[in-house]
Amino acid sequence: MSRQSDYTIFDKIIVENNADDENRLPLFCPICDLVMNRPGDITSFENFSCCSECSMIWAESRREEWSNGWRPSKEDIEKEVQIRKCASLSIQF
């Protein structure tokens, strides 16, 4: 006796790309390369092209330098990423 499956198998998944590239929010921050998953990340990305954490730590305090292209050193980014990874994980939707 055959049992009907609870799942449907698809041969292909087609994803339609409707969004303009300029309106997309990346999944990972271009600065720290961590997942952008906080509500403030959208505003921070629109203003500074980075996540809210990078925005608070580096971009907001150096607005003029940031707008002129300054970015933290690779070493400073790596230190900050280690601090964040040691902190408790909180995923918000």
Dihedral of alpha carbons 52, 56, 62, 64, sign: positive
Give the confidence band of 87 by pLDDT, cuts at 50, 70, 90.
confident
Give the confidence band of 24 by pLDDT, cuts at 50, 70, 90.
confident
Judge whether 31 and 41 are in contact, CB under 8 Å: no
- pLDDT above 90 as % of the chain: 58
pTM for this structure? Answer: 0.68
